[in-house]
Amino acid sequence: MSPAIDSAADEISVAAQAASWFARHRDAPEPRLDEAFEQWRATPAHAQAYAEFEALWADLAQLRQLNQPVLPPARRKNLWRPALATATALLCALLTPQLGANTPYRHQVAAHAQGTRLLKLPDGSSLYININTQLRINFRAQQRDIYLDQGQFYLEVAADRERPLWVHAGNARVRVLGSAFDVRRGQRQLVVSVAHGQLAFEPEGDPSSAILLEARQRAIFDYAKGTLQQRPLSNEEVAEWRGGHLTFHNRELVNLIDELNLYRGKPVQLADGPLAHFKVSGSLDARDPDALLNTLPALIPVKTVPLEDGQVRIESRK
């Protein structure tokens, strides 16, 4: 065999090894960087082959998401392309179960100051994102995960019994198979509301603490107190914020302020004492949250005290 043929065969062998390692690591939440893999990747040629397969798989996922013919970005020609073309068949054979709706998908949403957003996810789910929300999406072959760092979203989940969906909000978790529900993560509370279907809510991230929520039910978890409340609600109350207005009846002030802060650049502080449990009825315009603040003293015995940094403090009116 000539040196040129020997060289090409070696390249294909290395690319095949890279495909095998890539397939083994694909389904793990974090790559299992075991000693054998690290030793293999320590060789520069092996590291380059592995990086090429990561880029190739990212291109495939993007093309699947767009669902239309797209030319991949131009890449610098290198000696690995012939080997990659040969070893791609091996990669596809190893990862075929992950193609289609199970194609790995990652997305990050940064806080936005105006309006709501709608994301159509590759599994068929619809994700409505509220103002000032930060979240991360990580869909893998056997599990779907959404990490809510702050804010609120409403999700219509595409049912998939083989691949449950988890929502993570700090230590708390929500497990869903097929449902439509709303999650709000505020400074004081985590609120989960179900429009239809069922879900398991673990406020402490412990399966032993899980409760089952069904259609037209809401759970409110208080971070500081570690308490959990459940109450019924109407369909109209779930994700009402998508219309830009919220109507509330006999809401505790502490709960209302926690939601109000989502729409305000500077948070509203609530003084200690019994006023946290004052009941309030009214409406909130998501585009003008201060209108509600200005109305509060006429509804309940409180006063609003402007602070120098733009924050507002609510105190009892004596």
Whether 214 shows a pLDDT value over 50: the answer reads yes
Would you say 218 and 233 are in contact if contact means Cβ atoms under 8 Å apart?
yes
In the DSSP assignment, the letter for residue 245 is: E
Instruction: Average the pLDDT over each of 24-28, 145-149, 161-165, 256-260 and give the range with the smallest value.
Output: 24-28
Residues 6+ apart with CB under 8 A from 76: none
Domain ranges for the chain, please list them. 3-98, 114-235, 244-316
Confidence band for 67, pLDDT divided at 50, 70 and 90: very low
Would you say 15 and 49 are in contact if contact means Cβ atoms under 8 Å apart?
yes
Residues 6+ apart with CB under 8 A from 109: 117, 119, 129, 133, 134, 135, 136, 137
11, amino acid identity? E
Q: What is the pLDDT of residue 23?
A: 62
**261, two tokens:** 């802060």
CATH architecture of the domain formed by 244-316: 3-Layer(bab) Sandwich (3.55)
CATH of domain 114-235: 2.60.120.1440
50, amino acid identity? Y
Q: What is the pLDDT of residue 34?
A: 61
- Which residue has better confidence, 52 or 258? 258
Q: What is the pLDDT of residues 82-127, one digit of tens each?
A: 555 545 445 544 444 444 556 789 998 887 777 789 999 999 999 9
CA distance 81 to 78: 6
Residues 6+ apart with CB under 8 A from 315: 271, 275, 302, 303, 305
Radius of gyration of the chain (CA): 25
- Give the E-state strand segments of the chain in sequence order: 105-109, 117-120, 126-129, 134-139, 144-156, 165-169, 172-185, 189-202, 211-213, 217-222, 227-232, 245-252, 268-270, 279-285, 302-306, 312-316
Compute how many other C-beta atoms are within 10 angstroms of the C-beta atom of residue 54: 12
Dihedral angle of Cα 158, 187, 277, 288, to the nearest 10 degrees: -80
Q: What is the pLDDT of residues 136-194, one digit of tens each?
A: 999 998 899 999 999 999 999 998 888 999 999 998 999 997 899 999 999 999 999 99
Would you say 8 and 83 are in contact if contact means Cβ atoms under 8 Å apart?
yes
Residues 6+ apart with CB under 8 A from 165: 125, 143, 144, 145, 146, 155, 157, 175, 176, 177
Q: What is the reported pTM?
A: 0.67
Q: What is the pLDDT of residue 32?
A: 46
Q: Measuring CA to CA, which residue among 290, 286, 310, 285 is closest to residue 151?
A: 286
- What pairing do the DSSP bridges indicate for beta strands 134-139 and 105-109? antiparallel
Q: What is the pLDDT of residues 262-283, one digit of tens each?
A: 998 889 999 988 999 999 999 9
Q: What is the pLDDT of residue 55?
A: 61
Confidence band for 21, pLDDT divided at 50, 70 and 90: low
Tell me how far CA of residue 11 lies from CA of 43, 47, 79, 93, 249, in angstroms. Answer: 13, 13, 8, 19, 69
Residues 6+ apart with CB under 8 A from 54: 22
Mean pLDDT of 277-299: 92
